[in-house]
Amino acid sequence: MGLISEFKTFINRGNVIDLAVGVIIGGAFATITKSLTDDLIMPVVGYIFGGADFSGYFIRLGDLPADYKGNPQSYADLKAAGVAMFGWGQFLTVMVNFVILAFIIFLLVKAVNRLTVKPEPEVAAPAATPEDIILLREIRDSLQK
């Protein structure tokens, strides 16, 4: 079997197509979740903790380059300039984004599991009784009489 025909067989399996659809939908869903986090949740969290842009919280570890012309308080400018920083606010934003996405996926999987029809477990027919057991039962019954 040639490489091309093996590839066709691989691609035509339902699982590969399902996986591709899942990845595409997951990518789109991640964009929605990122917007939910960045535009709705984190501004509220930032407001509660005293700042409108929570992702801008960081600790600068390195010195500013001599030719640096950006804002020394801007996380994006410093990151673009290659300044070493401990960006705990951005990390926290990403973690909240992950938790929200994981929770929504959990709810989706839970809903799908509820909707799917679970097959009834098959009850196995009792195994045939071996002849020696039948013979022993007959002897027992005869002795009881």
Question: Can you give the pLDDT at residue 52?
Answer: 55
Nearest residue to 37 via CA among 88, 97, 106: 97
Domain-embedded: residue 138? no
pLDDT tens digits for 45-88? 777 776 656 667 888 888 888 888 888 888 888 888 888 888 88
Question: Can you give the pLDDT at residue 98?
Answer: 80
Question: Can you give the pLDDT at residue 14?
Answer: 66
CATH code (residue 75) = 1.10.1200.120
Cα end-to-end span (Å), the chain: 72
Q: Based on the structure, what is the number of domains in the chain? A: 1
Mean pLDDT of 2-17: 76
pTM to 2 decimals?
0.51
Which residues does residue 97 pair with via DSSP β-bridges, in sequence order? none
Q: What angle do CA 92, 42, 63 make, to 5 degrees?
A: 50
pLDDT tens digits for 93-145? 778 778 877 888 788 888 888 887 777 777 777 777 888 888 888 899 888 88
Domain-embedded: residue 127? no
Domain-embedded: residue 38? yes
Q: What angle do CA 42, 48, 54 make, to 5 degrees?
A: 35
The boundaries of the domain holding residue 10 are 3-120
